Structure 1
Amino acid sequence: MAEGKSKTGVVKKRASKREKKDWIAAYIFIAPVTLGLLVFYIWPFIQNIWFSFNEVSKFNVATFCGLANYQKVFRDGEVLKTFGNTLKYVVVTVPVGLFLSILIATLLNSKIKGTSIYRTLYFLPSVTMAAAVAMVWKWIYNEKMGILNSAIRALGGKGVGWLTDPKIALYSVMIVGLWMSVGYNMIILLAGMQGISKSYYEAAQIDGAGPIQLFFKVTIPLLTPTIFFVMITSIISGFQVFDVIYMMIGKTNPAYANTQTVVMLFYRQAFDYGYKGYAAAISILIFAVIMLVTVIQMIGQKKWVNYD
């Protein structure tokens, strides 16, 4: 590598031809991903911010309106209603899903036969298309011919409007969301558990720790970073829930207002009504809420780790 002196007398190392070729090759390899991020993520995000300060026609002609869209967002009762539905979905599904994921991961981390088969069965819903999942569960929940109501009637009960009763429709959809997400989170937690050194368990067992103490005193503390990752990703996906609810709950459904999430409202304002500027303001609000929750979690993680 060649060397040269700068005006300040500091010796600078010049890159050799081999290093320059390596740099060029590296930039060529990352160019497709970088361009993809710029074209499909960064530029649309910047454009969306600009649209949120404009009235946008169906032909994407923007007319600047300042903070009018954001003022409308905070005065719109429907926005508050959908945020309430979304928050309820997150508050229920995240802790329940985390508990089930840890439980299943712990069972699969033990020495049982057919572990690979169980992993596949639990993970399969996570890679199944949301449209297929929604259609299957929509038939399961069908009020007249669904499996659940058929079983209830066979036992002498009355059918339940799983997707039409405003009081329980959102909880019915939550079950589907949990069924789809638990397997993915389980795989991540299982990988974290298998990354814990056996020496910790052996040392604790020498000190007389039992299975329950090993779980709460060794597994959970050492699994904390993985748990936080799963929690953060689950909260983000919970605030962005859209496809399953959209396909299971139609607009004419009496439970639509009680199950509509904030992302569904964004979609309806942008593509059904054509209010793209207002929809952009709603999406920026969603982004701000997710960022705020993520920052709070990151601060909580640091305090937890320092405390332990």
Structure 2
Amino acid sequence: MRLASETNLTPARSVVRSRLRRKEMVWGYFFIAPVVIGLLIFTIIPIFASLVLSFTSWDGSSQIKFIAFDNFTKLFADNIYLKSLRVTTIYTVVTVPCTIVLSVVIAVLLNRKIRGRDAYRLIFFLPSVTMPVAIAVVWKFMYNGSNGLINYLLSVVGIDGPNWITDERYILMSVMIIAIWGGIGYNMIILLSGLQGIPDSYYEAAAIDGATGWHRFVHITVPLLTPAIFFVMVTSLIGAFQVFDLVFMLTPATNGGGAGGVLQDATRTAVFSIYQNGFTWFKIGYASAQAWVLFVIIFLITMVQMYLQKRWVHYE
């Protein structure tokens, strides 16, 4: 009798379990629905819309006109756009290696047992969680040519500081200094997590064999930290090619001509050029084409990095 009752209850239990699974599934979809809807509305749909608009001529108000690949062919003859790619490349080539090297050095130093280590980590990480607009405003005050903090400190040692953000010779360098300073904290945290995963026994064995601190760094730290270094390199390159907020805040707002136009030429990055074409000159289709060209460039560079990483790991 007992076995028969258990047999009769088994289908009922399976029905209850299936109902519970369906309820869990419904609630799961309910909780992720806002994220999925937001992703569709603000990311996926705009991506495909920009792809369609890149083949059109549209100023945002008039009728959309399909022009096929004219926007893309026009890009390679546009000196302003080509110069923006050159400025972006210079910015990336300077900021990314400097940020990574400084991040590695600081991460190694803050991985040691020193007094106030947590406070130092917090200080270096604070720029990563601070609004870029706030950072730009503070640095804009510090860069002031007449009463800025930097020029004041330089005057103390007898150096006449330049006009950092009103001289086209120095404004790009000023932006790069802020980018390097602001990018160290995030990379440092990623590298610290990689350093803490390296067993101390490796360093102890190397010290017993007579290896110096430099040799331990080169032959133990760097090889075992390679995955973290490649990760911050990929993310740093993507972020560098998409720089916009610092340039927008530090460069005078003007449609061209005069001192502001010269400064914009010196700091016009690829994304800043997209912003100007799309929201200042209302060339929506042309700006969309620029955005997709930038996407292709970033995608190819990322693929090359992933390939080199695999080759490096295989070599190791």
> Which position in structure 2 is the counterpart of 1:43?
45
TM-score by length of 1: 0.90
Task: Find 2:157's aligned residue among 155, 158, 162.
Answer: 155
**Counterpart in the other structure of 1:284:** 292
What residue number does 1:255 align with? 263
Q: Which has the larger displacement, 130-139 or 267-276?
A: 130-139
Letter in 2 for 1:231: M
Deviations 1:159-213 (A, max 9, x none): 3121122222211110011111111111111111112222333333343333222
- 1:23: Cα distance to partner? 3.9
| Structure 2 CA distance for aligned equivalents of residues 192 and 20 of structure 1 | 41
Identify the residue that residue 7 of structure 2 maps to in structure 1.
none
Cross-structure match for 1:229: 231
Task: Give the Cα separation in 1 of the matches to 2:159 and 2:225.
Answer: 44
Shift in alpha-carbon separation, 1:154–1:197, aligned structure 2, 3 A: closer
Partner of residue 175, structure 1: 177
1: distance between equivalents of 2:72 and 2:201?
A: 55
Deviations 1:47-76 (A, max 9, x none): 000000011232374221101111111110
| Residue equivalent to 2:84 | 82
| Alignment of 1:124 onto 2:132 | no
Structure 1: which 5+ runs fail to align?
Answer: 1-13
Note if contact 1:144-1:159 (Cα within 8 Å) is conserved in structure 2: no
Percentage of matched positions with identical amino acids: 45
Alpha-carbon distance in structure 2 between the residues aligned to 1:46 and 1:206:
60
Does structure 2 conserve the Cα–Cα contact (< 8 Å) formed by 1:163 and 1:172? yes
Q: Which secondary structure state, in structure 2, belongs to the residue aligned with residue 75 of structure 1? A: coil
Q: Is the 8 A contact 1:249 1:255 kept in 2?
A: yes
2:195 to 173, 193, 211: 193
**Letter of the aligned partner of 1:305 in structure 2?**
V
- In the other structure, the counterpart of 1:110 is 112
Alpha carbons of structure 1 residues 190 and 56: separation in structure 2 relative to 1, 3 Å? same
RMSD of equivalent CA atoms: 1.9
Aligned partners of 1:109 and 1:190 also within 8 Å: yes
The separation in 2 between residues aligned to 1:45 and 1:147, in whole angstroms, is 43
**Worse-matched range after superposition: 108-117 or 209-218:** 209-218
Output one character per residue of 1:11-58: Cα deviation in whole Å (capped at 9) or x when no partner: xxx9x6154444444433433322222221111100000000011232
Q: Which has the larger radius of gyration?
A: 2
User: Partner of 1:159: helix, strand, or coil?
Assistant: coil
Q: Compute the displacement of 1:87 (Å).
A: 0.3
The 3-state SS of whatever aligns with 1:32 is: helix
Q: Give the partner amino acid of 1:296.
A: V
Q: Distance in 1 between matches of 2:38 and 2:294?
A: 23
Structure 2 residues not aligned, in runs of 5+: 1-14
Which AA in structure 2 matches 1:281? A
Higher helix share: 2
Q: How many pairs are equivalent?
A: 295
Amino acid paired to 2:91: Y
Structure 1 SS opposite 2:57? strand
Q: Counterpart of 1:244? A: 246
Find the aligned partners of 2:135 and 2:195 in 1 and give their Cα distance: 29
Which of these residues, 73, 79, 86, is aligned with residue 75 of structure 2?
73
TM-score for both structures, normalised by structure 2: 0.88
Residue 202 to residue 29, structure 1, CA distance change in 2 (3 Å): farther
SS of the aligned residue for 2:76 comes to helix
